Copies of this chain bind each other. A is one copy, B any other.
Amino acid sequence: MSRPPLVFAAGVFYPGGEHITGWRSGADASSYLDLDYWTRFAQTAESGRFATLFLADELYVWDRFRSGIEHGTNVRLEPFTLLSALSQLTTKIGLAATVSTTYNEPYHVARKLASLDHLSHGRAAWNLVTSASDEEARNFGRDTHLDHGIRYERGAEFVDVVNGLWDGWDDDAFVFDKSSGRYADRSKLHVLEHRGEHFAVRGPLNIPRPVQGHPPLFQAGASEAGRALAGRTADAVFTLGGGSLASGQKLYDDYKRRALAAGRGADDLKVLPWFSPIIGDTEADAEERFRELAELTPERVQVDLLAHYLGVDLGERDVDETFTFDFDHEGFNQSKSGYKAIADLLAQRPYTLRELAWEVLRRRFTVGTPDTLAAHLIERYENGAADGFILMAPTLPDTLTRFVEHIVPRLTDHGIYPGEYAGDTLRENLGLARPAGRYAA
């Protein structure tokens, strides 16, 4: 069997692009609340045959530091309402919403995803996150967020409940027979009656089984618990990109092994590294574009971002002194992979705080020309480090437009990227089979 073609997801967290000050370079930020802005984004991605849109999300405003309010862009439209509106202005591209399993109820989530899947004729997907900040906890009745292990336990049970609710109605449970007056076939309904550690959900769900059976499930957890859950349940994982080919291959193999160990096929779990390119006409132009963006980012924001990743306040530190930090990998309770990446950097050589903040910002992006960037993607794909990529355009709409105009054709010409959509549903366009219901004969 030949290798499934390369796939792309078009992701967005900050509305102006993945770079925290990307908003200063593109469309006017007042347009972020208007659907026209997002329609252009979605339609551009669709013109580049992206398998899916992906809306990253958090449930709070980043106001831990003053710079987060003054300069941050962390207000945005809610993913389901936005994607549902976009479902009527697109025809092929997937619509993936981020869902926190810590601050949601599985009944609501199963229902919203099923509804979006019906409205889009099979293009819904979800990205499971477990939420890792105290700020989010405080918007939902808690003072601190749940411990890492508990969050993933709850997340695993959440997935099980959602899948069970979707499977509660067989695909052909609804009869809709006007002449006899029979609406549904009771024998094709399976009441869930779930009673677990974290949830008690009886069911049935009040919407028929989704078009895709189970809308695809994406995850990004890189910790042991996160990888274990992804190996068992995810259809695609978003991984950190940007490291060496060898580290990418190692990560790729790890996820594939976990899928196989869970009794699934290696192709059932797509590995999609994060890719956030600064696209220049020449290498020098690309570096210049990065520098321009970085210089638009107040140093306070750069330092506060680093402080955020480390879970501390660095407000009193001198930015010109050599930066030392006492890492506590066991006790740290936000994103463990980002934390470790910073520890790895500091293990290589000394940095001042200013240098480290800059370097951490720098490492989120891959800087190059269409030729070098396409070559990077091809290398990762052809050497077992990626099934595709999640494009987090640092600036919008221009990076996405440039990517579709200049990089996509190189991948198509190379024969690894499709010239048209494979089908009408996201599962078809990801090369994933439609799952039968758990009660299906």
Give the B-binding residues of A (Cβ under 8 A). Answer: 21, 23-24, 28-30, 33-35, 58-61, 63, 66, 69-78, 80-82, 84-85, 87-89, 103-105, 107-108, 111-112, 114-116, 118-119, 135, 138-142, 169, 174, 176, 178, 181-184, 186, 189, 191, 199-208, 296, 298
Contact = CB atoms under 8 A, between A and B. Distances in A.
A59 B206 CA distance: 7
Given A82-B115, A140-B105, A176-B30, A296 B181 contact: yes
Contacts of A141: 105, 199-201
B139 A61 contact: no
Contacts of A63: 189, 191, 204
Given A29-B178, A61-B203, A82-B119, 16 more contacts: A23-B176, A28-B176, A30-B176, A59-B206, A69-B183, A72-B184, A75-B184, A75-B207, A77-B118, A82-B84, A84-B84, A85-B119, A107-B140, A141-B199, A141-B201, A142-B200
Nearest to A39: B88
Nearest to A141: B200
A102 to B, nearest CB: 12
A276 B334 CA distance: 54
A183 B30 contact: no
A205 B35 contact: no
B139 A201 contact: yes
Nearest to A176: B29
B189 A69 contact: yes
The 10 closest A-B pairs by CB, nearest first: A78-B115, A138-B202, A29-B176, A84-B84, A81-B84, A81-B115, A33-B118, A107-B139, A24-B178, A141-B200
Contacts of A202: 135, 138-139
Nearest to A103: B105
Given A80-B112, A118-B77, A21 B181 contact: yes
A183 B88 contact: no
Given A176-B30, A178-B24, A202-B138, A80 B77 contact: no
Given A81-B119, A119-B35, A202-B138, A183 B71 contact: yes
21 contacts: A21-B181, A29-B174, A30-B174, A33-B119, A33-B207, A34-B118, A58-B206, A61-B204, A61-B206, A69-B184, A70-B182, A75-B184, A77-B118, A78-B207, A80-B84, A81-B116, A82-B84, A84-B84, A85-B87, A88-B89, A181-B298
Nearest to A87: B85
Nearest to A189: B69
Given A71-B181, A202-B135, A59 B207 contact: no
A186 B77 contact: no
Contact of A181 (B24, B82, B203): B24
A297 to B, nearest CB: 8
Contacts of A23: 176, 178, 183
Contact of A112 (B81, B107, B138, B181): B81
Nearest to A142: B200
A142 B87 CA distance: 34
A301 B142 CA distance: 45
A189 B80 CA distance: 26
B115 A77 contact: yes
Contacts of A66: 186
Contacts of A169: 75
